Chains A and B, each alone.
Chain A
Amino acid sequence: MEKACGLHCTKINNISVKIGNEEILKNINIHIHCGELTVIIGKNGAGKTTLLKAILGEIEHTGNIVFMDQKDNITKKIKIGYVPQSINIEKHMPTTVYDMFASCITHIPVFLKKDKKIYNEIKEHLKIFGADMLIDKSIGDLSGGELQRVLIAIATKPVPNLLILDEPVSGIDRNGIKNFYNIINKLKSEYDMSIILVSHDLELTKKYADKVILLDKEVIKEGKTEDVFKSLEFKNRFEELL
């Protein structure tokens, strides 16, 4: 994987989402450079998850996303990696980490024989996140933190230009969340990708974010972490938590 060079940028232009007559998101403009962690904060119902789904193209929206390589000054098709907040799998579902991972990266059906080459490739990649020993475990048996590491591993293979993470709200202890942020920090500094994180944890946001976006149906405030945290708009929304 390439080191972050700061010369790639992702522009999210004028994203608006309407469901029925209700405007969920209004004119969202975000500009991100590689090697930068942008954290989106906002109260419940501010449209954080909707924004992620719009960026991924899962729901209809207006506006567009442009990925620029400033080194060569050309636009490219963006590759986006996504780490979901939770997954929809029953406890006893016989899906192993290998089954889930291989389903995402290959067309060889996972109900046939295990593919040795792909198996080793997956194991190698899981190793980066300290999750290689989980490869044959059933997904339902993973702890919240383990699942998170597996999901990040899946999202970063192949290495995306933009990594989008929806921070888990439940099932992970304090230590697990710290671990999660350490991994993000590592990805940010070692690999050439931009990262957007939707967070519910203001304290850790303060500690790790390079840039914060305060969302409430539109971008209320954006900028350096300390500037946003000191702003009036921030205080108005999170007063009771401080």
Chain B
Amino acid sequence: MLFGSLLGISNLNLGIIIFAIGFALLLNYVKNKTTYGADTIISVFSSIAIAIGLAILAQTGNFNSYSSYLVGDILSITDLEILYVFLIAIVVFIFWYFTFNKLNVISINSTLAKSKGIKIKKIDNIFVILIAIVVMISIRWIGILLINSLLILPAASSRNIAKNMRYYHLYAVIFSVFSGIVGLIVSYYFNVPTGPMIVILSGAIYFVTLFLKKKVKE
């Protein structure tokens, strides 16, 4: 993101999205070419990207003007950006509806997916492209440092208490919408940055569900 912005592409949003897609596809390519786990590759890529971004920003000397990218600034969102979120949401819903089953099988066992005639590489690539776009658009809202937690926490919380795929989806959506809206309200009245507030709430939900899971087991 930071890298793209400094390449001098006039439309910042377009620049960072194109860069993110390229980066995501490269990551997928490396993942497929090696035998290392996805976690390792993602860590390698993200640390490199952050380091390059910071190094370049330090060069130009206007570090502060990019701070909204690091922690997000929801109050400065323009109408156009709301439209972007709306459009990508529709695309994601359509993609999810038609490919969720396939993604599910791929994640369970890719060879099994192949035997069922699923085009693994194509679906995987579309998936990472969509994630890249969603993340890039959300960065303006919640910031680069916190976006990862919003990707993981609602799903992890839901996993703690869900007993099948239907509840897994339902709870995850409820948790993220709840922490998003409540986080926004709380941050407005208590003068806390919105992004961190949303993540704090998501984190609280995670620990509550973790506790509930233990209760259920007992």
Contact = CB atoms under 8 A, between A and B. Distances in A.
- Determine if chain A interacts with chain B: yes
Interface of A: 52-53, 56-58, 80-82, 84, 86-89, 92-96, 98-100, 102-114, 136, 138-139, 151, 154-155, 164
Interface stretch (B21-29, B97-105, B131-139): B97-105
Given A56-B111, A58-B114, A82-B112, A103 B164 contact: no
Interface string B82-114: 000000000000001110111011011111101
Given A88-B107, A88-B108, A112-B166, A107 B115 contact: no
A187 to B, nearest CB: 16
Contacts of A56: 111, 114-115
Given A88-B107, A94-B164, A96-B163, 9 more contacts: A82-B112, A89-B108, A96-B165, A103-B104, A104-B112, A109-B96, A112-B166, A113-B166, A138-B163
A94 B101 contact: no
A2 B217 CA distance: 45
B140 interface: no
A61 B162 CA distance: 42
Nearest to B161: A94
Contact of B100 (A100, A110, A114): A110
A103 B106 CA distance: 10
Nearest to A86: B109
A96 B109 contact: no
Interface of B: 96-98, 100-102, 104-105, 107-112, 114-116, 120, 158-160, 162-169, 213
Contacts of A105: 116
Contacts of A99: 104, 164-165
A80 B115 contact: yes
A127 to B, nearest CB: 21
Nearest to B158: A94
A194 B110 CA distance: 22
B212 to A, nearest CB: 13
B165 to A, nearest CB: 4
B200 to A, nearest CB: 24
15 contacts: A53-B111, A58-B110, A82-B111, A86-B109, A89-B108, A104-B105, A109-B98, A110-B104, A110-B165, A111-B100, A111-B166, A111-B169, A113-B166, A138-B163, A164-B115
Contact of B109 (A52, A87, A110): A87
A104 B104 CA distance: 9
Contacts of B102: 103
B162 A94 contact: yes
A155 B163 CA distance: 24
A217 to B, nearest CB: 19
A96 B158 CA distance: 15
A136 B96 CA distance: 23
A197 B162 CA distance: 36
Contacts of B168: 94, 111
A58 B124 CA distance: 14
Contacts of B98: 107, 109
A98 B167 CA distance: 14
Nearest to B173: A111
B153 to A, nearest CB: 16
Contacts of A164: 115
B40 to A, nearest CB: 15
Given A94-B159, A96-B165, A110-B165, A102 B101 contact: yes
Q: Shortest 9 CB-CB distances between A and B: which pairs?
A: A82-B115, A94-B162, A103-B101, A111-B169, A103-B104, A99-B165, A94-B168, A58-B114, A109-B100
Contacts of A114: 166
Contact of B111 (A84, A96, A108, A113): A84
A92 B104 contact: no
Contacts of B100: 103, 109-111
